[in-house]
Amino acid sequence: MELKVFVKKGFLFVLVGAAFASPFFADWNSYRIPDSAEVRRQISREWFEGGLDFLRGQNSEIRSNQIGLQFQTRLEEQPDVFLTIVAPKSQMKIDIYSSGGMRTATEDAYNMDSPGSWILVRSKAGGEPLSVRYYFAKDPGVFIQFRPNKGTNSSLADLIVFDNYAAKGVPLGVPFDRFYTASFSEIQALTKDNVPWRYVEPRAGYGDEILVMVQTIRQKLKDIAYADDAAYNEEGRPVSIQNGRERFVPENLKDKISVSSVGFVKWICDGLVEPLSGSYLKLRPLVQKTVDVNPTGAQGVLENNYSANFSLDWTRNLAAAVLSVNSNKTIFYKDSGVDVSIEPFAARWTDKGVKSETGYIKNTGYKIQYLKPLLYVLATVNPQYFYLSAIRQTGGGVGGPEVKVFNDAAAIFPYFDADGKFKTVVFYDGVEYSLQQFCDSFAAQRSNDSFAHLVRVKASAKFYPQEARKDNKND
């Protein structure tokens, strides 16, 4: 039975300044999280070996480690398992309302999934240990756990990122009970060669260019208006994507940037290249095909009248064009390496158990539901990039339900804030969404048929997207 953790929001861990001058600073490890190893050594016999009935009679305890940080040890029960939790002291902000108004106060809390928390999971049926978890990230969905390797005197390691296994069942030649008292520094040393820590290494403060772009786009969204088949050419003139000719702009849109879904992501990329090249991107290169299809298949027949890979081609060529301007040489999509195709996860943890799932599919991308853990890894290993996403859905009225088409596109900006918390901003059709809102909008439609294909684009603080033309005329 796997442990299910219910996330509690609003906790901010408070670091003690004296820790940085302490001779025991090594206990804070490279991730700078508080370590309960000393506390666990003090309580191991009663709390880790005592049965459930015994633990029910135990009061929660608060003890300090060698540098004075407090940890609470307590019992919590779930339907099939019971947990021994050793959690660091946190502070939770609360709003207090009274006749005199509202004031904000803080209260002590010991959150089970805050950075530095440690959990032993045991079965209610037999009392045997099932796993030990170490929480080290500001996002509680990211943690490492260890399980007994049945039939041996060793253990297995799992690294989990939002229900996805970046490592699963990695064998370690270490007795399971060593993790009762091992520090986080020790488990890092034990697993450094066979657990991909690079996928979860904190990257706080690495997203300055990302934030500049996000804030700039936010400020200009009021000037964006959606319009079908609409983009701007290399001269900044409104044109039809379908034929490249200048288009009529209705009176109510003359003081707006009127763009379609793909025109909007071009407007973002134009803001990166114009400061370097002096002009915006040309349209014709962006519609060059990047996928060979079977001419006699359903997709091939559709291609005679309609491009089923329209936004896939568009985003790939856009990313290659930005790369060309940045490198000051012409780079075509096929030579650009802009596609995101990494496979960081071995399996997914679902309500029906652990399942193996396909990650990247060539010329299709990733399932929409896969985006959050994937973007977490991408923000860690490539902190200076944002992503253009081509969105694939069933054809519906275009070619029937068996045909899959790329019509729309979005710009996705993942990053870690100054506190190390994972954030993602999505701009789609000229509107800002959280990643959850974006994914939910497609899951509500056809969750199994919606895919996102990603290409990487390097972010830049030198970002000046086209302004709305207040004197826009239909000449």
Task: For 376-393, write each residue's pLDDT tens digit.
Answer: 999 999 999 999 999 998
How many residues does this entry show for the chain? Answer: 475
Average pLDDT over residues 143-159: 95
Q: In this predicted structure, what is the pLDDT of residue 27? A: 53
Buried b (16+ CB within 10 A) or exposed e, 106-130: eeebbbbbbbbbbbbbbeeeeeebb
H or E element at residue 311: helix 310-327
Query: pLDDT of 398-441, one tens digit each?
Result: 445 556 789 999 999 999 998 889 999 999 999 999 999 999 88
DSSP codes, 41-82: HHHHHHHHHS-HHHHHTPPPEEEE-TTS-EEEEEEEE-SSEE
pLDDT of amino acid 94: 79
Specify burial of residue 100 (Cβ count, 10 A radius: 0-12, 13-18, 19+): exposed
Per-residue model confidence (pLDDT) at position 11 = 36
pTM over 0.85: yes
Q: Which residues, other chains included, contact 189 with Cβ-Cβ below 8 Å and sequence gap of 6+?
A: none
Query: In the predicted model, what is the mean pLDDT of residues 123-150?
Result: 96
Q: Cβ-count burial of 151 within 10 angstroms (0-12 exposed, 13-18 middle, 19+ buried)?
A: exposed
pLDDT confidence band for 294 (50 / 70 / 90): low
Helix and strand counts by DSSP (H, E) for the chain: 10, 23
What is the average pLDDT score of the chain?
A: 87
pLDDT confidence of residue 203: 76
Q: Give the pair of three-digit tokens for residue 205.
A: 């403060």
- Asked which of 144-153, 287-296, 410-419 is least confident by mean pLDDT, the reply is 287-296
Which tokens go with 174?
Answer: 């270490």
The average pLDDT across 249-266 equals 94
Does residue 171 contact residue 198 with C-beta atoms inside 8 Å? no
- Tell me the pLDDT band of 202, cut-offs 50, 70 and 90: confident
448 burial level (CB within 10 Å; 0-12, 13-18, 19+): exposed
DSSP code of residue 218: H
Closest CA to 67 of 19, 13, 114: 19
Confidence (pLDDT) at 262? 97
Neighbours of 417 (CB within 10 A): 13
Mind listing the pLDDT tens digit for each residue in 114-133?
A: 999 999 999 999 999 999 99
pLDDT value, residue 91? 78
Residue 93 burial class via C-beta count within 10 angstroms: exposed 0-12, middle 13-18, buried 19 and up: exposed
**pLDDT tens by residue, 327-379:** 999 999 999 999 999 999 988 877 677 777 778 999 999 999 899 999 999 99
Percent of the chain with pLDDT over 70: 86
DSSP 8-state symbol, 191: H
Q: Is the pLDDT of residue 25 over 50?
A: no
d(CA 72, CA 319): 50
pLDDT at 106: 81
Q: What would the two tokens of residue 316 be? A: 């790939």
